[in-house]
């Protein structure tokens, strides 16, 4: 979770679609309850890799109602625009 946090924090600094670390620390996918493992810069959304669903972030508020989740197709999932969480670590 904290690994996700570093990423999201970085995004948050830009004032765009990112969310702060305190939030990233506790957030999981509302459907799978697994970590929201990636932040997708292109779409400004949080990605749950476990089930291949992305959740939008609007005005800094993560929209994590299950029906807001969008199923991702394979190509999109592998998109380079979406940063893998392991590429960055906090501390």
- Residues in contact with 2: Cβ distance below 8 Å, sequence separation at least 6, in sequence order: 21, 24, 25, 89, 90, 91
The distance of closest approach from Cβ of residue 44 to another protein in the complex, given in angstroms and rounded to an integer, is 14
Q: Which span sits near another protein by CB under 8 A: 37-45, 61-69, 70-78, 79-87?
A: 61-69
The nearest distance, CB 42 to another protein, in angstroms, is 21
Q: Can residue 44 be called a binding residue for another protein (CB under 8 A)?
A: no
Q: Using the rule CB under 8 A, which residue among 6, 60, 77, 88 binds another protein? A: 60
Alpha-carbon distance 20 to 1, whole Å?
A: 12
CA end-to-end distance (rounded Å), the chain? 13
User: How many residues form the binding site for another protein (CB under 8 A)?
Assistant: 25
């Amino acid at each position: 979770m904290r690994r996700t946090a570093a990423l999201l924090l970085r995004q948050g600094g830009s004032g765009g679609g990112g969310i702060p670390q305190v939030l990233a620390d506790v957030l999981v996918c509302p459907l799978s309850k697994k970590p929201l493992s990636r932040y997708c810069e292109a779409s400004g959304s949080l990605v749950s890799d476990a089930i291949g669903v992305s959740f939008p972030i609007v005005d800094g508020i993560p929209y994590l109602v299950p029906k807001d989740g969008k199923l991702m197709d394979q190509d999109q999932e592998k998109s380079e625009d979406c940063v893998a969480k392991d590429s960055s670590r906090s501390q």
